Chain A
Amino acid sequence: MKIYKILFFLILGIFLNIHLNAAEQVKPLKIDWSFKGLTGKFDRASLQRGYQIYKEVCSSCHSMQYLSYRNLSEPGGPEFSIEEVKAIASSFEVTDGPDSQGEMFTRPGRPADKFVSPYPNVNAAMAANGGAYPPDMSVIVKARSGGADYIYSVLMGYVDPPEGLILDDGVYYNKYMPGQKIKMPKPLSDDLVEYADGTPATEAQMAKDITTFLSWAAEPELETRHKTGVKVLIYLILLSVLVFLSMKKIWSRVDPKI
Chain B
Amino acid sequence: MSTEYVPESKVGKWFNDRLPLLSLAAHLKDYPTPKNLNYWWTFGGILTFCLLTQIITGIVLAMHYVAHADLAFGSVEHIMRNVNYGWLIRYIHSNGASMFFLAVYIHIFRSLFYGSYKAPREIIWITGLIIYLLMMATAFMGYVLPWGQMSFWGATVITNLFSAIPLVGESITTWLWGAYSVDNPTLNRFFSLHYLLPFLILGLVILHIWALHVPGNNNPVGIDIKKPSKDTVPFHPYITIKDIFALLMFMIIFSGFVFFAPNILGHSDNYIPANPMVTPAHIVPEWYLLPFYAILRAVPDKLGGVILMFSAIFILLILPWLDTSKVRSSVFRPIYRQFFWVLIVDVLMLGYLGAMPAEGIYLVLSRIGTTYYFLHFLVILPVVGHLEKTDPIPLSISEPVMTGSANTALARKNENI
Name A's B-contacting residues (CB within 8 A).
1-3, 6, 9-10, 12-14, 16-18, 20-21, 24, 38, 65-67, 71, 135, 138-140, 142-145, 147, 178, 218, 220-221, 225-226, 228-230, 232-233, 236-237, 239-240, 243-244, 246-247, 250-251, 254-255, 257-258
Contacts and interface: CB of A to CB of B under 8 A. Distances in A.
B265 A243 contact: no
Given A9-B348, A221-B87, A228-B88, A14 B265 contact: yes
A111 B166 CA distance: 58
Interface residues of B, number: 59
Given A142-B271, A229-B259, A17 B245 contact: no
Contacts of B238: 250-251, 254
Interface string B253-293: 00110111011110111011000000001101001001000
B175 interface: no
Given A13-B352, A229-B255, A229-B258, A255 B230 contact: yes
B345 A246 contact: no
A6 B106 contact: yes
Lowest 6 CB-CB distances: which A-B pairs, in order? A229-B259, A143-B271, A221-B87, A17-B355, A142-B271, A240-B248
Contacts of B252: 233, 236-237, 240
B348 A247 contact: no
A38 B260 contact: yes
A239 B248 contact: yes
B401 to A, nearest CB: 13
A233 B249 contact: no
Given A3-B417, A258-B397, A143 B272 contact: yes
Nearest to B273: A136
B271 A139 contact: yes
A243 to B, nearest CB: 5
Contacts of B237: 250
Contacts of B74: 65-66
A230 B258 CA distance: 11
Nearest to B345: A9
Interface in B204-261: 230, 233, 237-238, 241-242, 244-245, 248-249, 251-252, 255-256, 258-260
Contact of B259 (A2, A21, A220, A232): A232
Interface of B: 35-36, 39-40, 74, 77-78, 80-81, 87-88, 91, 102, 105-106, 109, 230, 233, 237-238, 241-242, 244-245, 248-249, 251-252, 255-256, 258-260, 262-265, 267-269, 271-272, 281-282, 284, 287, 290, 344-345, 348, 351-352, 354-356, 397-398, 415, 417
Given A221-B80, A232-B255, 11 more contacts: A10-B348, A13-B287, A71-B81, A143-B271, A178-B281, A221-B81, A233-B259, A240-B252, A243-B241, A243-B248, A250-B241
Contact of B355 (A9, A20, A67, A236): A20
A154 B415 CA distance: 55
B72 to A, nearest CB: 13
A14 B102 CA distance: 10
Nearest to A218: B271
A218 B105 CA distance: 33
A84 to B, nearest CB: 20
